[in-house]
Structure 1
Amino acid sequence: MSQLKEYKLQELTMLSLSPMLRQVRRWWLRRAEDHFLICADVEQKRVREAQQNVAYYQRRAAMARSERI
């Protein structure tokens, strides 16, 4: 039994770290991509809201201008 454990331990120490590092890197990049897509959505919503605010205040200015005349 102990020989079997030693053999498996030796196998584990001989494994390359490259596949594991590649998997971690893929996970990290996928996470970063998701984060940036969420940020882009938030910014688009802010832009839409800002455009709506601009339109609202332009209408208010036009109404005030028309009442002044």
Structure 2
Amino acid sequence: MKVLITGGAGFLGRRLASKLLQRGVLRNAAGVEESIDRLVLFDAIRPTDSPIHAFAWSPAI
């Protein structure tokens, strides 16, 4: 199963990704457990340890 987490650089997104990687499986719509093949984090900001730095960062255009 492929998993995309939007807001992956945020407080909840990082923790959700960590828990999903530890668990390794999710249930699909039919209720069958499938292993997580790929986990992708997507966000509009660069993840950092400090939220202050994350908001100060701007991508080069």
After TM superposition, the score normalised by the length of structure 2 is 0.25
Considering fraction of residues, name the structure with more helix.
Answer: 1
Q: With CA pairs under 8 Å and 6+ residues apart, which has the higher RCO, 1 or 2?
A: 2
Considering fraction of residues, name the structure with more strand.
Answer: 2
After TM superposition, the score normalised by the length of structure 1 is 0.22
